[in-house]
């Protein structure tokens, strides 16, 4: 069978796109190397900009009581603290629950899933005007291919030209119980990184930190040692980690995090979510970018299939949209990343935020988009 659309990778971007396109009447296959539900390293805070789109795609999410987050707190290793109201705000939900619900919704809509299946490469046949996708579970044909395989896929390595060298980061996540105000999202700086604290469903809290891999190497790759030597330099973090009741047996970790911009589209496929470019989590908005790119790509693919635009226009319009909306945000986020991992710069920024709170507001505004 030839599908209208094949989506490689069923994370947040791929699942949302699959539901959106299926609802528009197209046949969709998702090729996902894992299965659901599963935990993922993520701060699990979603900016309100994508609330309407996400809940429209997956009404079952309304069955869950999710914390609304409207305050932001920052602290530095030097003991400085700053807090402000978030104009738009956000909500907390675990990736486990979010992807489980989206997967179930996609199944209800009739999206076909090929799970535990790794996509290797795609080939375009100009005469047939279709793509062959080669995966660990066989070959599939589709008229349009969308790559939503995230930051570190085999598709990235074949797109070397657009890779940007930079520092490597490690991500670590825990689910904990903590007695704290669920209306706050917190970021606490420590030498080499920062830790996000955000409430999710069932009165749980997500503790998620990102750290330069050199710091982990310096303590013999031991997570407990890393926390003792670096995170606990911030007394807020030391207190949070001491008071928390840890719910996951082991921390969840990922390595090789980089904040790259790739190409939104090649002549063979469209990239979305982290596969197009990943934003530093200090801005807390990778998931909204994934959702926004899914919503725009679905609408453009619809226009292409209904012959309102040519394939060339589809590529141009999507590339134009992505660059206009996200490339500055992603580039800016890299500077914030550097700022947040240096105790000196973090202290300096917090020192400035107190007398000039509009500076902090402006930084938050520049890393967020408008509701869609």
Ligand X SMILES: Cc1cc2nc3c(=O)[nH]c(=O)nc-3n(C[C@H](O)[C@H](O)[C@H](O)COP(=O)(O)OP(=O)(O)OC[C@H]3O[C@@H](n4cnc5c(N)ncnc54)[C@H](O)[C@@H]3O)c2cc1C
When asked if residue 29 is in the footprint of ligand X (CB under 6 A), the reply is: no
Q: Please, are residues 13 and 272 in contact by the beta-carbon 8 Å criterion?
A: yes
When asked if residue 10 is in the footprint of ligand X (CB under 6 A), the reply is: yes
Helix (H) or strand (E) holding 285: none
When asked if residue 116 is in the footprint of ligand X (CB under 6 A), the reply is: no
Considering the complex, state which of residue 128 and residue 202 has its C-beta at the smaller distance from ligand X.
202
285/280 Cα distance (integer angstroms): 8
Considering the complex, state which of residue 34 and residue 78 has its C-beta at the smaller distance from ligand X.
34
Binder to ligand X among 5, 6, 7, 8 (CB under 6 A)?
8
Picking from 70, 51, 46, 71, the residue whose alpha carbon sits closest to that of residue 62 is 51
Binder to ligand X among 199, 288, 317, 367 (CB under 6 A)?
288
When asked if residue 148 is in the footprint of ligand X (CB under 6 A), the reply is: yes
Considering the complex, state which of residue 64 and residue 356 has its C-beta at the smaller distance from ligand X.
64
Binder to ligand X among 119, 144, 176, 298 (CB under 6 A)?
119
When asked if residue 208 is in the footprint of ligand X (CB under 6 A), the reply is: yes
Binder to ligand X among 5, 6, 7, 13 (CB under 6 A)?
13
Q: Which residues contact 170 (CB under 8 A, 6 or more apart)?
A: 210, 211, 212, 213, 216, 253, 254, 255, 257
Helix (H) or strand (E) holding 46: strand 45-47
Binder to ligand X among 20, 44, 105, 227 (CB under 6 A)?
44
Alpha carbon 10 to its chain's center: 13
Task: List the structure tokens of 138.
Answer: 């066989």
Task: List the structure tokens of 265.
Answer: 């589209």
When asked if residue 92 is in the footprint of ligand X (CB under 6 A), the reply is: no
Task: List the structure tokens of 93.
Answer: 């939900």
Picking from 357, 331, 335, 355, the residue whose alpha carbon sits closest to that of residue 345 is 335
Cβ of residue 281: shortest distance to ligand X, in angstroms?
Answer: 3
Chain residues binding ligand X by CB under 6 A are: 8-14, 31-34, 41-46, 118-119, 148-150, 153-154, 171, 196, 208, 210, 257, 273-275, 278, 281, 284-288, 290
């Amino acid at each position: 069978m030839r599908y209208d659309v094949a989506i490689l990778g069923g994370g947040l971007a791929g699942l949302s796109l699959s539901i959106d396109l299926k609802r528009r009447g197209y046949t969709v296959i998702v090729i996902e190397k894992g299965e659901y539900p599963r935990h993922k390293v993520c701060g699990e805070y979603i900016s309100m900009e994508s609330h309407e789109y996400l809940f429209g795609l997956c009404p079952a999410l309304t069955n869950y009581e999710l914390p609304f987050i409207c305050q932001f707190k920052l602290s530095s290793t030097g003991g400085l603290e700053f807090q402000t109201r978030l104009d738009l705000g956000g909500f907390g939900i675990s990736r486990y629950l979010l992807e489980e619900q989206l997967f179930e919704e996609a199944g209800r809509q009739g999206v076909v899933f090929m799970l535990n299946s790794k996509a290797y490469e795609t080939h375009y046949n100009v005469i047939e005007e279709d793509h062959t996708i080669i995966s660990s579970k066989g070959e599939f044909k589709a008229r349009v291919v969308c790559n939503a395989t995230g930051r570190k896929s085999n598709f990235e390595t074949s797109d070397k030209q657009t890779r940007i060298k930079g520092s490597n980061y490690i991500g670590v996540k825990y689910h904990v119980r903590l007695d704290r105000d669920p209306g706050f999202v917190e970021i606490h700086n420590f030498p080499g990184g920062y830790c996000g604290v955000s409430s999710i469903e069932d009165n749980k809290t997500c503790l998620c930190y990102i750290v330069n891999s050199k710091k982990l190497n310096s303590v013999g790759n031991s997570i407990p040692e890393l926390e003792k030597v670096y995170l606990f330099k911030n007394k807020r973090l030391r207190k949070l980690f001491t008071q928390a009741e840890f719910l996951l047996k082991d921390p969840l970790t990922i390595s090789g995090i980089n904040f790259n911009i790739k190409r939104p589209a090649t002549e063979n496929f469209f990239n979305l979510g982290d596969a197009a470019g990943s934003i530093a989590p200090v801005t807390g908005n990778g998931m909204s970018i994934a959702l926004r790119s899914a919503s725009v790509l679905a609408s453009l693919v619809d226009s292409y299939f209904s012959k309102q635009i040519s394939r060339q226009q589809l590529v141009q319009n999507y590339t134009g949209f992505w660059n206009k909306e996200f490339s500055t945000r992603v580039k800016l986020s890299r500077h914030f990343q550097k700022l947040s991992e240096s105790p000196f710069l973090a202290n300096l920024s917090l020192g400035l935020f107190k007398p000039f709170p509009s500076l902090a507001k402006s930084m938050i505004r520049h890393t967020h988009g408008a509701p869609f």
